[in-house]
Amino acid sequence: MIAVDDLIALVRNYNPKTNEKLIREAYDYGLAMHEGQFRQSGEPYFMHPVAVAAILTEQRLDDATIITALLHDTIEDTKASYSEVEQKFGREIADLVDGVTKLTNLQLSSTETQQAENFRKLLMAMSKDLRVILVKLADRLHNMRTIKAMRPEKQAKKARETMDIFAPLAGRMGMQWMREELEDLSFRVLNPEGRASILRRFITLQKESGDVVERITSDMRAEFDKAGIEAVVFGRAKKPYSIWRKMQEKNMGFSRLSDIYGFRVLTETEDECYRALGVIHQRWRAVPGRFKDYISQPKSNGYRSIHTTVSGRDGKRVEVQIRTRQMHDVAETGVAAHWSYRDGVRSENPFAVDPVKWISTLTEQFNAEEDHDEFLEAVKLEMYSDKVFCFTPKGEVVKLPKGATPIDFAYAIHTRIGNACVGAKIDGMRVPLWSRVKNGQSVEIITAEGQTPQATWLEIATTGKAKTAIRRALREVDRSRFIKLGRELARSAFDHVGKKATDKALETAARHLRLDGRDDLLARLGSAELTAREVVHSVYPDLAEGESDQIDTTRAVVGISADQSFTRARCCQPLPGERIVGIKVRGQGVMVHSIDCAALADFEDQPERWLDLHWHAGKHPPIHTATLDLTIGNDAGVLGRICTLIGEQKANISDLQFKDRKPDFYRLLVDVDLRDAEHLHSVMSALEAESDVAAIERHRDPSRVTDANA
> Domain 193-346 class?
alpha beta
Residue 585 CA from chain centroid, whole number: 51
Q: What is the pLDDT of residue 121?
A: 60
pTM above 0.75, yes or no: no
Query: What's the CA gap between 578 and 326, in Å, rounded?
Result: 49
Say whether 542 is catalytic.
Answer: no
**Structure confidence at residue 708 (pLDDT):** 43
CATH 1.10.3210.10 is the classification of domain 4-190: yes
Number of C-alpha atoms within 13 angstroms, CB side, residue 461? 27
Which residues of the chain are under the pLDDT cut of 50?
110-113, 365, 368-372, 374-375, 377-378, 381-382, 384-385, 544-548, 707-710
Q: How many residues does the chain have?
A: 710
pLDDT score recorded for residue 50: 94
CA-based angle 598:599:603, to the nearest 5?
120
Question: Rounded to an integer, what distance in angstroms lies between the CA atom of residue 236 and that of residue 263?
Answer: 7
Of the candidates 277, 261, 265, the one whose C-alpha atom is nearest the C-alpha of residue 232 is 265
User: Do 4-190 and 386-475 fold alike per CATH?
Assistant: no
Domain 550-710 architecture? 2-Layer Sandwich (3.30)
List of residues 6+ apart from 273 with CB closer than 8 A:
265, 267, 295, 306, 322, 323, 324
The strand pair at 624-633 and 589-594 is best described as unpaired
Assign residue 36 a region: left if phi > 0, alpha if psi is -120 to 50, beta otherwise? left
Backbone angles phi, psi at 297, to 5 degrees: -130, 80
373 part of the active site: no
Q: Are 186 and 133 in contact (CB under 8 A)?
A: no
Q: Nearest 5 degrees, angle CA 15-CA 324-CA 304?
A: 95
Q: Which residues of 56-69 are buried (b: 16+ CB within 10 A; e: fewer)?
A: bbebbbbbbbbbbb
* HSE-up (13 A, CA, CB side) for residue 317: 14
Question: How many of the other CB atoms lie within 10 Å of CB of 276?
Answer: 25
Q: How far apart are CA 644 and CA 666, in angstroms?
A: 17
d(CA 697, CA 22): 44
From its phi and psi, is residue 226 left (phi > 0), alpha (psi between -120 and 50) or beta?
alpha
Residues 6+ apart with CB under 8 A from 184: 195, 239, 240, 241
Element at 406 (helix H, strand E): helix 406-413
Helix (H, G, I), strand (E, B) or coil at 304: coil
Q: What is the DSSP code (8-state) at residue 163?
A: I
Among the CATH numbers 3.30.70.20, 2.40.50.140, 3.10.20.30, 3.40.630.10, which is that of 386-475? 3.10.20.30
pLDDT digits (tens, 9 = 90+) for 284-312: 888 877 788 888 878 777 788 999 988 86
- Burial level of 450, CB count in 10 A (0-12/13-18/19+)? exposed
Alpha helices in 457-606 (DSSP H): 457-460, 464-477, 479-496, 503-512, 518-526, 532-539, 541-545
Residue 646: CB atoms within 10 A of its CB come to 20
For residue 612, give the 3-state DSSP assignment. strand
In terms of Cβ atoms closer than 10 Å to its own Cβ (0-12, 13-18, 19+), residue 604 is: exposed
For the chain, which residues make up each domain, given as ranges? 4-190, 193-346, 386-475, 478-545, 550-710
Burial of 387 (0-12, 13-18, 19+ CB in 10 A): middle
Q: Which residue out of 20, 25, 58, 77 is catalytically annotated?
A: 77
Half-sphere exposure of 100 (CA within 13 A, CB side): 31
Count Cβ atoms within 10 A of the Cβ of residue 707 and give its class: 0-12 exposed, 13-18 middle, 19 or more buried. Answer: exposed
Contact 516, 477 (CB under 8 A): no
Distance (Å, whole) CA 65 – CA 49: 12
Residue 107 confidence (pLDDT): 57
- Annotated catalytic residue: which of 25, 58, 76, 117? 76
Decide if 9 contacts 66 (C-beta within 8 A): no
Which of 40, 44, 108, 34 has its CA nearest to residue 71?
A: 34
